[in-house]
Amino acid sequence: MPIDNDALTGAPARRKPKADVTEIGGHPLSPSTLMMGYGYDPMLSEGSLKPPVFLTSTFAFESAAAGKRHFEGITGKRPGGAEGLVYSRFNGPNQEILEARLGVWEKAEDALVFSSGMSAIATLLLAHVNMNDVIVHSGPLYAATETLIARILSRFGAAYVDFPAEASRADMDAILARAKELAAKQGGKVAMVYLESPANPTNALVDVQAMRAAVDAAFAEDVRPPIAIDNTFLGPLWSAPLQHGADIVLYSLTKYAGGHSDLVAGGVLGAKHWLGPIRMMRNTIGTICDPNTAWMLLRSLETVELRMSRAGENAAKVCAFLKQHPKVEGLGYLGFLKEGAQKDIFERHCTGAGSTFSLFIKGGEAESFRFLDALKIAKLAVSLGGTETLASHPAAMTHLSVPDERKKALGITDNLVRVSIGIENADDLIADFDQALAAV
């Protein structure tokens, strides 16, 4: 006879939502359709078509036994996590609906949401990295991620080895061997392979499939480190790294997923096996996103495919215009990759070239600044993935603190302008770039 947990604890589990419709007559529904209602049953909220914002710091238990059972799940005493809502530092309805919807895009078994992209990354690393461990990472990484690994985790005895994003399989084999040697010397383990693709700001792509093969060859299954990857630039529409061998995918949801430059949030997707420790760490340090932000993200996800498609089309048109302009020295746009290893990675991993690219103006800082100051539609701001077009100067802004030698090695030059194309009219954007280049 099946055990009736409710009878054992004297507590009904949370009211069960109606099962989600994910296919019709064997036809699987696409993520863009599922974004309208997946994970939410209006009948549990007075028929409200959209989820209400649940502004509460804590949740009432049906009985003391139910409370105990929830805490057994929260603290890991019983596998499977919390069965109900407990306390808003751990979970909440808006966050759980958002997690269900985010997971749809990459067919992830589990998802977690955070108060920022950086709090997602920090919680992931704190959960999986111990003293004397080694992190293997591609470079460059988003500057704050590099700082976190190189300057903060190192204070707690975690080391790292890095390799250029463009590395070949042979390079990956060599770097993993080096990392294993270092870990053995320190008495720790290789705790994680951390990737960012495309890299910020160079747009260099990492071969995730090759890294997966390299990791599988280098480690026995029981000591295999997870491969985590920051998919902020191409996800969720143009790249799904879980399908290419990654174990954990990270997002700054502040960018394309949020998409309106009006919120800050982060996400982590992957198998329960890898996300369990991250959930426990999030419970402990309280890096979950708040219910208002989760609600706004639910609204954003309804249009994410529309927004990203339009931004991608606009970027292709703007880049075609810029490519032939006499004042443009070059473009770092994934749609213009020449035959070679990077193009091969692009074709195997990506379904679109994105809308964030590097524009190299003929000249240096002065010419780039003149261009930026002359823009009338594009806003002069850092960040990306919003409905509006943004432009910035990495060498003088996001990467100002990076030492000159490292900047040079990464190709962060004084004539590099970073552009994130939005969903405005493409011809208007071309007119704006044209007049700004004329001012150079």
Ligand X SMILES: Cc1ncc(COP(=O)(O)O)c(C=O)c1O
Binding residues for ligand X, rule: CB under 6 A, are 116-118, 142, 196, 200, 230, 232-233, 252, 254, 264, 266
Residues 6+ apart with CB under 8 A from 41: 17, 18
Residue 307 C-beta: closest distance to ligand X, Å: 17
**Residue 252: CB minimum distance to ligand X, A:** 3
Find the shortest distance in angstroms from Cβ 189 to ligand X.
25
Q: Which is nearer to ligand X, 297 or 429 (CB)?
A: 297
Q: Contact 353/333 with Cβ under 8 angstroms? A: yes
Task: Give the whole-angstrom CA distance, residue 232 versus residue 259.
Answer: 11
Q: How far is the CB of 374 from ligand X (least distance, A)?
A: 25
**Nearest to 127, CA basis, from 282, 232, 286, 248:** 282
Angle at 142 between CA 260 and CA 348, to 5 degrees: 85
Closest-CA residue to 279 (of 82, 108, 14): 82
Closest distance of CB 229 from ligand X, Å: 10
Residue 358 to residue 417: CA distance in whole angstroms: 6
**Which C-beta is closer to ligand X: that of 85 or that of 192?**
192
Q: How far apart are CA 117 and CA 289, in angstroms?
A: 10
Min separation Cβ 236 and ligand X, Å = 14
Shortest separation between residue 342's beta carbon and ligand X, angstroms? 18
Cβ-based neighbours of 408, under 8 Å, separated by 6 or more: none
Which residue's Cβ has the minimum distance to ligand X? 117
From the list 238, 294, 241, the residue with the least C-alpha distance to 100 is: 294
| Closest CB 117 distance from ligand X, rounded Å | 2
CA-CA distance, 257 to 251, in Å (whole number)?
Answer: 9
- Element housing 301 (H / E): helix 291-302
Cα distance between residue 77 and residue 83, in whole Å:
13
Q: Which of 339, 320, 341 is nearest to 331 (CA)?
A: 320
Closest to ligand X by CB, 198 or 226: 198
Q: Please state whether beta strands 227-230 and 190-196 pair in parallel, antiparallel, or not at all (unpaired).
A: parallel
